[in-house]
Amino acid sequence: ECTIQRRFQKLIEEAPSPRLSPELRTAMAAAAIKAAQAVKYFNAGTVEFLVEPDDKFYFMEINARIQVEHPVTELTTGIDLVKEQIRLAAGAKLDYTFEDLNLRGWAIECRINAEDPERNFMPSPGVVETYRPPGGFGIRLDTHLYQGCELPVFYDSLIAKLIAFDLSRAGAINAMRRALAEFRIEPLKTTIPLYRRIMKDEDFIKAQFDTGFITRFVTP
C-alpha cells in the first residue's frame, strides 16, 4: 500500500494494504503473477496497480528491481528479499513457495526525506549536527546518517527509512508514533514532523485516504 505520496513519489508504505478486501487482494495477486509470467520475469520485482473506489483496478507498471519499501514485505513475510535476490542472480533456487510463507503482522514505513513540508517539500541540505535514532521493539531503521554527516545540494532527499512492525495495524501505528517522537535529525528540516501529524490523523487511522491525501497537510 503506497497511496500516500507527494509529487507522485511515495511517502508512507504499509503491508498488508488496509484498502483491499480478501477477494480484491486475490484478484490483484493473480493479475500480477499473470503479468510477470507474460514477460518471463525473473528475480525481485513489483507489479503496481491503481485502484478506484468501486474496486476496479488498473495495471500501472512493473518495477524491475528491489523496491525502496521492501522492509515492509520482509517484516510481514520473514523473507530477506535482498539476500534472495542475490541468491537467484547467482543461480540458486528458491527453497519455498508462496504457500509456505507465514504472513503475519503489520508493517508501516515512513520515508524520511531532508525536505521542508511547510515549504512545499523544499530540499533541506546541510550538516547533521544532532542525530538521535529511535529504537526498541518493532522498530527498524535503514539509513546512512551519522552525526556530522553533510548532505550537499546535489543529493537524493531520501535519508532514512523508518519501519514499525506489530501484530496489528493499530499496534504498528503506535510503534511508529513512539519512534517518530524519539527521532532527531537537526538542524535540517525533514518530513518527521509531518509523519507525526499523519499518525494521529483520524482518516489515516481509519485507512480512509487517496492519492490526494497529503495536500491538506502541506502549504503550497
The Cα–Cα gap between 204 and 158 comes to 22
Q: Helix or strand or coil: residue 17?
A: coil
In this structure, what C-alpha cell is assigned to residue 65?
528491481
The Cα–Cα gap between 58 and 19 comes to 15
In the annotation, is 25 catalytic? no
Structural element, H or E, at residue 86: helix 81-89
* Cβ atoms of residues 159 and 179 within 8 Å: no
Which residue in 65, 104, 119, 197 is the catalytic one? 65
Structural element, H or E, at residue 140: strand 139-143
Q: Which residues of 75-93 are buried (b: 16+ CB within 10 A; e: fewer)?
A: bbbebeeeebbeeeeeeee
Strand partners, 16: none
Residues belonging to the active site: 65
